[in-house]
């Protein structure tokens, strides 16, 4: 595993460089916007990556909360299986199909449902116990970084195209800003709360925060917004060459996000181990816990950082 990281890092660096070359040189120029449209190759993959990371944070938080009671855990598994089956069949039922936004294929909804259920079981399988909480904080922190990029590149793109930096009251823009604020408050809660309940409180906040993700994603279908329609699965007519470059960029960003999450996950695990070692050391010191340092007074179950 130690060798895998540098190999993956080199591969990701090549992929990012290739994606940059494709975005700046190979992708055709947009007839209406000119070259400035190329911001899409950083803006959209960052948004997709942030959504994925927030969803991972949601799954890890739900599983962490459920892990307290085995019966809840079992019940949740069956609920997820049932939701997966509904998500697989329902989009093909004519009445439901009519309700889908224009341009959204039932097969893509069913595939997304399958992927999400698969992700739920993968996370449950490979991240037992406290690792779920470590994964949750990792995904939230890296997700906030990618969401920050969306919020910075969006206005930079809007200024030359719309003539304004920000469209006040626009639901897509406002919901994205609220999403960012929710996850920043999640990280602040974890950083500054000393309570032994911090992890549970943060997990509950994450569950509610995740409700904003579908609002952000579907807002452009159900509300009138300044933001353009989605480039994939929304009836948009993107040039296949542009779409190809966009997918390459997303792959590169996903690999980069994976590496950053890997580092952050290891850092968090190490931090918790050191914290436990410090607490144990202070207990073994002559005089016992009364002589412990301020760092060691931190409860073992305290949140990260």
Partner 1 sequence: MNSASSIKFLYAAYIATWLIHALYLGSLLRRYSRLRQQMKDVGK
**Using CB under 8 A as the criterion, which residues of the chain lie in contact with partner 1 when the complex forms?**
20, 33-36, 38-39, 42-43, 46, 142, 145, 148-149, 152-153, 156-157, 159-161, 256, 260, 263-264, 267, 270-271, 274, 277-278, 281
Q: Which residues, at least 6 apart from 219, have a Cβ–Cβ distance to it below 8 Å?
A: 171, 172, 175, 225, 227
Report in angstroms how near the CB of residue 25 gets to partner 1 at its nearest. 13
Report in angstroms how near the CB of residue 277 gets to partner 1 at its nearest. 5
Smallest CA-to-CA distance from 57 within 181, 140, 148 is with 140
Report in angstroms how near the CB of residue 139 gets to partner 1 at its nearest. 14
C-beta of 160 vs 288, nearer to partner 1: 160
Report in angstroms how near the CB of residue 291 gets to partner 1 at its nearest. 16
C-beta of 67 vs 282, nearer to partner 1: 282
Smallest CA-to-CA distance from 137 within 216, 179, 195, 199 is with 199
Distance CA 293, CA 296 (A): 5
C-beta of 66 vs 158, nearer to partner 1: 158
Distance CA 277, CA 156 (A): 47
Q: Is residue 242 within 8 Å of 41, Cβ to Cβ?
A: no
Report in angstroms how near the CB of residue 146 gets to partner 1 at its nearest. 9
C-beta of 69 vs 191, nearer to partner 1: 191
Report in angstroms how near the CB of residue 264 gets to partner 1 at its nearest. 6
Count the alpha carbons within 13 Å of 235 in the hemisphere toward its beta carbon: 9
The set of long-range contacts for 261-270, using a CB threshold of 8 Å and a minimum separation of 24, is: 261/53, 261/138, 261/139, 261/142, 262/5, 264/138, 264/141, 264/142, 265/134, 265/135, 265/138, 268/134, 268/137, 268/138, 268/304, 269/131, 269/134
C-beta of 29 vs 99, nearer to partner 1: 29
Smallest CA-to-CA distance from 147 within 176, 167, 123, 122 is with 176
- What would the 3-class secondary structure string for 69-87 be? CHHHHHHHHHHHHHHHHHH
3-class secondary structure, 302:
coil
C-beta of 20 vs 238, nearer to partner 1: 20
Report in angstroms how near the CB of residue 263 gets to partner 1 at its nearest. 6
C-beta of 169 vs 286, nearer to partner 1: 286
C-beta of 116 vs 145, nearer to partner 1: 145
Report in angstroms how near the CB of residue 274 gets to partner 1 at its nearest. 5
């Amino acid at each position: 595993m130690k060798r895998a990281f540098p190999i993956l890092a080199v591969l990701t660096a090549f992929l990012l460089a290739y994606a940059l070359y494709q975005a700046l040189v190979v992708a055709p120029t947009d007839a209406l916007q000119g070259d400035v449209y190329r911001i899409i190759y950083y803006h959209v993959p960052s948004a997709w990556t942030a959504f994925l990371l927030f969803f991972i944070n949601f799954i890890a938080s739900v599983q962490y909360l459920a892990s307290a009671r085995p019966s809840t855990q079992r019940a949740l598994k069956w609920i997820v299986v049932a939701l997966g089956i509904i998500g697989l069949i329902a989009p093909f039922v004519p009445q439901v199909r009519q309700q889908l936004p224009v341009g959204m294929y039932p097969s893509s909804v069913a595939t997304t449902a399958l992927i999400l259920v698969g992700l739920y079981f993968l996370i449950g399988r490979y991240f037992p116990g406290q690792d779920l909480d470590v994964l949750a904080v990792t995904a939230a922190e890296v997700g906030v970084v990618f969401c920050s990029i969306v919020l910075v590149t969006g206005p930079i793109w809007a200024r030359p195209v719309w003539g304004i930096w920000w469209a006040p009251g626009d639901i897509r823009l406002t919901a994205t800003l609220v999403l960012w604020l929710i996850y920043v408050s999640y990280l602040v809660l974890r950083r500054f709360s000393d309570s032994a309940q911090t992890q549970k409180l943060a997990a509950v906040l994450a569950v509610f925060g995740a409700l904003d993700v579908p609002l952000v994603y579907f807002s452009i279908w159900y509300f009138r917004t300044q933001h353009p329609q989605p480039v994939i699965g929304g009836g948009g007519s993107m040039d296949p060459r542009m779409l190809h470059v966009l997918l390459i960029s997303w792959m590169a960003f996903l690999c980069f996000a994976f590496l950053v999450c890997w580092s952050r996950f290891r850092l968090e695990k190490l931090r918790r181990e050191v914290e436990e070692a410090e607490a144990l050391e202070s207990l073994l010191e002559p005089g016992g816990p009364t002589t412990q340092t301020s760092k060691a007074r931190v409860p073992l179950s305290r949140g990260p950082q």
